[in-house]
Structure 1
């Protein structure tokens, strides 16, 4: 059961109603996480969606974006985001096994993807300046400096959603991941 109150979709007004309508048109539904966020701060929901749009407009592929979001969500223990991005990862072409490997930090057999996962796990799991060897390794795997910034943006985006869902204990409306 979610901790924060959430309005019913049909009771939304103003900016919340506008944002919810756009989400429903694009996705067919308004996920619980967005419904809760928009209930309390439609401006924050709009900003989160703009963040995600900026990530999507970059040069990272959809599968790489979902790898980043899965790795971060698993690291911080956000079950809601793990479930949501497992579905999104499947739609982006990731297999169930690949997603399990990404979440656990074990090798997928794809050197570039493995370098991305390692880099993301270092970024979110350490403090201070990221070791130069970690940056060199992800570059050597084929990621550009622009993509390093896009990876950072994807991490920032999912971190906000993780925080919302961890505070709210958002009720899953995506298939649970074991």
Structure 2
């Protein structure tokens, strides 16, 4: 059971209820993490959703976005987000073996995406500046300056949800990952 209380999603008529209704309309249900964030910080959830809207209008593919989010979640040890982004990655078109390879730190077979995964994993595991070699490698793989901004935005929103889910110990409502 999650640590933070969540009101009844159907009867909440306040700011959180409005956010719940928007999410439910868009995706059919309200994931536990979104419910808990909205219950205590609807503006924070709106910011995350706005960032996702910006990402969806960008040039990074949905597969790349989900690969980024899965790598960050795996490195952070956020079991909720690993489960969520494994499913969302599958829905975006990543094959089960690709998802498993990402989680297990193995190559996926897509050279460009593997360069992205290596870059994001190094970012997630370090606290210093990106090395010239790492920067050159991600640029050589074909990622643009604008996509580096998008990578940064995907990274930031994922770190937020990872941290929140670790604080809340959010009950996983996505298929379990073996």
Instruction: Please give the TM-score of this superposition, normalised by the length of structure 2.
Output: 0.97
**Residue 64 (1) aligns with residue 64 (2):** yes
Question: Is 1:114 the counterpart of 2:114 in the alignment?
Answer: yes
C-alpha displacement at 1:46, in angstroms? 0.8
- SS of residue in 2 equivalent to 1:173: coil
Other structure's SS at 1:10 match:
coil
CA deviation after TM superposition for structure 1 residue 171, in Å: 0.6
Aligned to 2:99: 99
Instruction: Tell me what 1:53 maps to.
Output: 53
Q: Which residue of 2 aligns with 1:86?
A: 86
Q: Secondary structure at the match of 1:128?
A: coil
Residue 174, structure 1, aligned to residue 174, structure 2: yes
| Counterpart-to-counterpart distance in 2, 1:35 and 1:15 | 12
Report what 1:129 is aligned to.
129
How much has 1:21 moved relative to structure 2? 0.4
Q: Name the structure 1 match of 2:43.
A: 43
How is 1:134-149 mapped onto 2 (pairs within 5 angstroms)? 134-149=134-149
Tell me by how many angstroms 1:56 deviates.
1.3
> Which portions of structure 1, spanning 4 or more consecutive aligned residues, are displaced by more than 3 angstroms?
none
Moved more, 117-126 or 48-57: 48-57
In 2: Cα distance, 1:10 partner to 1:108 partner: 41
1:159 is the counterpart of 2:159 = yes
Q: Which whole-Å CA distance do the structure 2 matches of 1:105 and 1:114 have between them? A: 10
Indicate the SS of the match to 1:11: coil
Question: Structure 1 residue 11: deviation in Å?
Answer: 2.9
1:129-175, CA deviations, whole angstroms, 9 ceiling, x for partnerless residues? 11011111011111111101100100001111111111111111110
Q: Does 2:76 match 1:76? A: yes
* Number of equivalent positions: 178
Q: 1:2-21 to 2 correspondence within 5 Å?
A: 2-21=2-21
Unaligned runs of 5+ in 1: none
Q: What TM-score does the superposition give when structure 1 sets the normalisation length?
A: 0.97
Distance 2:148 2:103 in 1: 20
Cα deviation digits, residues 3-59 of structure 1 (max 9, x gap): 111111023122111111010001100110000001111111111111111111111
